[in-house]
Amino acid sequence: MTVPAVVIAAPSSGSGKTTVATGLMGALRRAGQRVAPFKVGPDYIDPGYHTLAAQRPGRNLDPVLVGEELIGPLYRHGSAGADVAVVEGVMGLFDGRIPTGAPGAADTAHPGPAPGSTAQVAALLGAPVVLVVDARGQSQSVAALVHGFATFDTGTRLAGVILNRVGSARHEQVLRAACEAAGVPVLGALPRAEELAVPSRHLGLVTAAEHGGGARAAVEAMTGLISRHVDTAAIARLAAGTVTCPPWRPGGDEPPAPGRPVVAVAAGRAFTFCYTEHAELLRAAGAEVVEFDPMRDTLPAGAAALVLPGGFPEQYPGELSDNAELRRQVADLAGRGPVYAECAGLTYLMADLDGTPMCGVLSGSARFTPRLTLGYREAVAAVDSVVHTAGQRVVGHEFHRTTVDFAEPRDPAWIFRDATGAAVHDGAVRGGVHASYLHTHPAAHPGAVRRFVAHAAATKLAG
């Protein structure tokens, strides 16, 4: 049976989607519902707050990274056993991947909502949209805004509006009347609430893992706000879905690798950017997955392979460097077994990060810069590695303010063109190490995970 869903969207970023979506997840769970949390796009941070609110893993739905055909199966897998799903959108409702080519060119290959947009995911799920509108500075003109979003795309069903940052009771009355005149019901009105502020920094919100008790307090505050000011029962009733395909299965029909090799996965405050499906695929491929915190732990006993996901090592260079025993162990493992590193993991493997010693697996330095590198990339594997064969094509995503300067010639992990059209030779492949800035979604490339675990099994057997 398809679990019904509701999609929380907005006219633009900064309207309050995360507050509403996270609070709605918590409020519905508090009311006795089993809630499946999702986030549109490649975002790693919001799902951490969703996990706290729903008490089950937050997951991503990104048609650009995994393809339209996997959205339904991944949704069925992630919502199994739930009563309702809440899907937080990305950016504005109709914002998605910008077509390549001349400015303003239409994307004729993808008619309808932009690829990767909230509207596209809502259509793929057959789910209604609730629009979060920032009411600051708005009066009767909100009717035109709401009417435009309700009628812009006939495939998008706008089921209601939640007004955010309402200034007074009179302000709410005016806004409600305007929205209802536009034919869109108001499902809630949130007053301005300073206690909901969550710390942010150069790449967005501080992750839930780092914010600790503050994150839990923020989620509780969001839950209380939504419970008091939104008709959550009405939202649960309007939830719907048309996905009928079979759920995604991490293992597929492939047999697992022998020997249950231990795959160590970095976690803790410095390494938080990891899709839930990655660990599921590793286990299905035959691995025993053991998480550890590079700021305080050593490698798990018997580790035959290492995964270093993205995160914020630039916030904790001293703590990471002080764990000298782990740095030595990582360098040793990199000389005999497979290591897969994305973004933060790449910087951790360099000789130093802003002058602070790191693992020294790759010669050269990583440094923080004022420039944000952000966007989807169509990449080609430059050489054979422990995860890919040369020539394999993927769609990935970059999201970082650091850069690396290699001190020696190396085989790049990926070749792609950046947003300016310039060729980029990203990362490095050296022996069993595959390290790059590019984030990929493992569900789109299950064969890469099986290949990695097979190398881990061989390392265990040889050791």
Torsion angle, alpha carbons of 39, 97, 447, 269, to 10 = -50
Residue 302 CA: distances (Å) to CA of 95, 328, 459, 461: 46, 15, 10, 11
**Alpha carbon distance 451, 316 (integer Å):** 32
| Residue 134 β-bridge partners | 164
The label of the residue with tokens 């996905």 reads 243
Catalytic residue among 179, 245, 274, 343: 343
**Alpha carbon distance 357, 287 (integer Å):** 31
| Residue 292 β-bridge partners | 266
Strands (E), 153-253: 158-166, 186-191, 200-201, 204-205
The label of the residue with tokens 């609430």 reads 193
**Alpha carbon distance 22, 18 (integer Å):** 6
Element (H, E) at 395: strand 393-406
**Alpha carbon distance 403, 424 (integer Å):** 12
The label of the residue with tokens 């879905």 reads 241
**Alpha carbon distance 438, 414 (integer Å):** 8
N-to-C CA span, the chain:
47
DSSP string, 14-62: TSSHHHHHHHHHHHHHHTT--EEEEEESS-SSHHHHHHHHHSS--EEE-
Element (H, E) at 145: helix 142-151
**Alpha carbon distance 150, 86 (integer Å):** 20
The label of the residue with tokens 């992990």 reads 413
Helix residue spans in 189-316 (DSSP H): 208-211, 213-229, 232-238, 276-284
Reply yes or no on whether 179 is catalytic: no
Contacts of 250 (CB under 8 A, 6+ apart): 277, 280, 281, 283, 284, 446
DSSP state, 432? Answer: T
Q: Which residues are catalytic?
A: 343
